[in-house]
Chains A and B, each alone.
Chain A
Amino acid sequence: MEKWYLMTTVVLIGLTVRWTVSLNSYSGAGKPPMFGDYEAQRHWQEITFNLPIKQWYFNSSDNDLLYWGLDYPPLTAYHSLLCAYVAKFINPDWIALHTSRGYESQAHKLFMRTTVLIADLLVYIPAVVLYCCCLKEMSTKKKIANALCILLYPGLILIDYGHFQYNSVSLGFALWGVLGVSYDWDLLGSLAFCLAINYKQMELYHSLPFFCFLLGKCFKKGLKGKGFVLLIKLACTVVASFILCWLPFFTEREQTLQVLRRLFPVDRGLFEDKVANVWCSFSVFLKIKDILPHHMQIMISFCFTFLSLLPACIKLILQPSPKAFKFTLVTCALSFFLFSFQVHEKSILLVSLPVCLVLSEIPFMSTWFLLVSTFSMLPLLLKDELLMPSVVTMVAFFIACATSFSIFEKTSEEELQLKSFSISVRKYLPYFTFLPRIIQHLFLISIIMMVLLTLMTVTLDPPQKLPDLFSVLVCFVSCLNFLFFLVYFNIIIMWDSKRRRSQKKIS
């Protein structure tokens, strides 16, 4: 690539932004007794380093599961252990059993931030660069601009480097999976995706599209011949990688069950905190959490999720293509986020990743979605005192997208990929030509709402009777946006091949 230096510049900009954000506060800084996710990660290092592997997921006098007990899959635990060895080398106090609880210092913060940066640099960033380099039908300059936008996506930066988590690892592995599967390295792709699931169980949001896409590929090759071989190979890869990750926990049945119980805490309720999904947002009008019994909630959320992702998945099995795969990833993750049980506000990042991948195809809508997704985490970011970096990175991301893709000129039906949909609607409603204009207006309204709500949350004190007024409003507005996007992405998927056929007819 003759423009390698521009790509290097872009990566360096991404890294600089990441590190400058990391100079800010983290979740639960100086807030005993529970602190926040930062302390959780540090505590996991303490636990994994000091306790034998058999006790990691069990409650004991040394391992109080109520105090940030390990509730992520084994790969996270191994990663914590690795970090703990480095921590032990630098300063053993950081991970001393019991006494290190709530340990905070400038040096330790630096260490923790560095671990995030290194993980990001090893897993996520190379995947993004490679993904952008492999894009087809694009000039080098566009590829680089695309990489810049993806690397500047504020949601991931703010959660990983501000709030403190290691999402870039699981999302990075998922991205490696997408890369592998899209370019016919199916086995490597599924291996990478298994690593992603074993790092963070939330990656299951992405699992159905992976499954459907690979299954569709097998069908396409013919289930009696090559397809069957591929299916067997894939199954073996998946099973083998799972066994490898879970090996220490497969020795006893109780171990495995305990880990699973920790990973899927079904008794924790329909939702916690304020999250921009349907259940939380509409609880203002209908308190499902209190009305229905627990198992009914699970059933209902399962049914809704299943129904909303079903059409896209079936379509993907029947017509597997890398493009449809990416869009299905979006809708599936979005359906899970909106309807499933026990969703965290940070899970929106799982939707944002595939949206980043379609940034070059539908720049206008993707930019919009990515802004809303960051906005939906506003209450969390404000709690962590990340207002300044949030606003700055969001504006920076917006400018980057606007200049690289000139998004405001790309609002025609064609550019929004709504041509075939509009054509089929026009058969019944001949006057249906105002869709792009409506979408433009919706965009404006949505942006204005976000700005206003941000300003209100920051400057005004909520009324005493409704202390959560603004965060509920933020969730509600974001949820409405997400529902709209769910419909939009489903339309794109459903009308995709028709569009291609009609194009062929024209040509």
Chain B
Amino acid sequence: MAALGIAMGGGNWFSALVLGVTLLKCLLIPTYHSTDFEVHRNWLAITHSLPISQWYYEATSEWTLDYPPFFAWFEYALSHVAKHFDQEMLNVHNLNYASAKTLLFQRFSVIFTDALFVYAVHECCKCIDGKKAGKELTEKPKFILSVLLLWNFGLLIVDHIHFQYNGFLFGLMLLSIARLLQKRHMEGAFLFAVLLHFKHIYLYVAPAYGIYLLRSYCFTANKPDGSVRWNSFSFVRLISLGLIVFLVSALSLGPFLALNQLPQVFSRLFPFKRGLCHAYWAPNFWALYNALDKVLSVIGVKWKLLDPNKIPKGAMTSGLVQQFQHTVLPSVTPLATLICTLIAILPSVFCLWFKPQGSRGFLRCLILCALSSFMFGWHVHEKAILLAVLPMSLLSVGKAEDASIFLILTTTGHYSLFPLLFTAPELPIKILLMLLFTIYSISSLKTLFRKEKPLFNWMETFYLLGLGPLEVFCEFVFPFTSWKLTYSFIPLFLTSVYCAVGITYAWFKLYVSVLTDPPAGKTKKQ
């Protein structure tokens, strides 16, 4: 009884938050799940029933294994639990198999592996030096941060409705960030290396890790003006870091190297055959670019500058077209996006090198890397915005300026996830959860920074409020208009363009703030 009392009461708010969100996840079990559910079931079947040499060759289902080896091993481990639920789901030829037990198992596997995420959030909360602690629990930065991370709208709908395993992957990432913040660099590097071999999308933020470790760990001292002291370089540290990364990679890729399958693995991991934009347009620079192209072509046809017969038919009428053909503006090649991404990342990395600002500088560089690759990357998923949103939560409770950027980024980024859930029963859930998260994040951060200048100017407020009418138009007005059949792409188009504006703005604002921040030596000693 007493133990129960201590566990439950006694102001142990963290476990209450965790239990609450876990129960919510359990309630989400019967909701809609996307094809990703079948993707992961197929991977369970592949890893369970085939030898390793077949894993990256198997192509019975169209959802071939395209994650790095650690994730395949993860599925392999899961499959040994899965066989106690329903043997049938482990059959490679059982396409689109989704019995009640399969559903239960897959959903619970996500919920259970989220334990790692919970632990990572716990560690992150320990090492953030948020604004001075308020008196009330609900005004403590740690409490706010825990809610922002644990109850993150994006993670909830992507993992527990749409179906993916981002929870524990982000857990690994947050944990490695926490370790770096705690000055346990080796552990952080190790965790990040492991993470990269779980899901290679995290390569986007690898530059930040690399430069930070090199600058702040391999170089052990700074000159008084904050620039690097070249003779303080520690070879031992560099070599041990290199060793860690090498060993992890060897463990992951070694077996495939031995089987002489590396080219096949890489061709699965980096499928450049896919289109510039994902099925739904991720709200990034290319969405704006495509929109501009579309507008120009419409204007061109109207003013007789273009020949209507030359315009590719149906290029954008539905959101499901993989290859997008530009009509006016030049088409974009993968190489071009790669160059754009690198150019966008470079300044932030330079900043991290020349003006290292300790952990905050690292975090901001990491977010800029994630955001820049989201802005300019090839075939970006709208889900990738979480890569910037989650680390940004850590910053948001520290400074009012960051909080403002965080709120714009998060609200628009989360809103851009709406098209993921298009079924009617999930409509109230996504709206309610979005409102829940948005109202909470905005109000709590406003309360936290109430003594400083307002978080939003009138333009930002106007923009964020505009999301409401946009949602009403897309979900409640548009389906009842006569355009529904001929211009079915309009809601997706509007959503991604509107959100692209907000995310570009947040990216730009964060960049400006990073570049104009005074160097470390003057403001903060670290």
Contacts from A to B (Cβ < 8 Å): 3, 5-6, 8-9, 12-13, 15-17, 19-21, 23-24, 106-107, 110, 117, 141, 388-389, 392-393, 395-396, 399-400, 402-403, 406-409, 440, 444
Contacts and interface: CB of A to CB of B under 8 A. Distances in A.
B440 A444 contact: no
A409 B5 contact: yes
A117 B428 contact: yes
A170 B27 CA distance: 26
B27 A17 contact: yes
Interface class of chain B by DSSP:
helix
B180 to A, nearest CB: 32
B27 A389 contact: yes
Contacts of B29: 388
Contacts of B136: 141
Interface string B1-34: 1101100111111001001100110111111000
Nearest 4 pairs of A and B residues by beta carbon: A408-B5, A406-B9, A5-B443, A402-B8
B10 A406 contact: yes
Nearest to B17: A403
Given A5-B439, A403-B13, A408-B4, A396 B432 contact: no
Given A12-B436, A403-B12, 18 more contacts: A5-B444, A6-B138, A9-B439, A16-B24, A19-B429, A23-B30, A110-B425, A392-B23, A393-B23, A395-B23, A396-B20, A402-B8, A402-B9, A406-B9, A406-B11, A408-B1, A409-B5, A409-B9
B77 interface: no
A16 B30 contact: no
Given A12-B439, A19-B432, A406 B5 contact: yes
A18 B2 CA distance: 32
Contacts, number: 92
Contacts of B16: 399-400, 403
B247 to A, nearest CB: 42
Contacts of A389: 27
A202 to B, nearest CB: 28
Contact of B28 (A3, A20, A402): A20
Given A12-B436, A23-B425, A444 B9 contact: no
Contacts of B26: 388, 392
A13 to B, nearest CB: 7
Given A9-B436, A399-B16, A444 B1 contact: yes
Contact of A20 (B8, B9, B24): B24
B32 to A, nearest CB: 9
A233 to B, nearest CB: 42
A5 B425 contact: no
A6 B447 CA distance: 11
7 contacts: A9-B440, A17-B27, A107-B424, A110-B424, A141-B136, A141-B137, A396-B24
B440 A20 contact: no
A450 B424 CA distance: 37
A16 B432 contact: yes
Given A21-B27, A23-B31, A403 B8 contact: yes
B110 to A, nearest CB: 16
B301 interface: no
Contacts of A407: 8-9
A161 to B, nearest CB: 11
B480 to A, nearest CB: 12
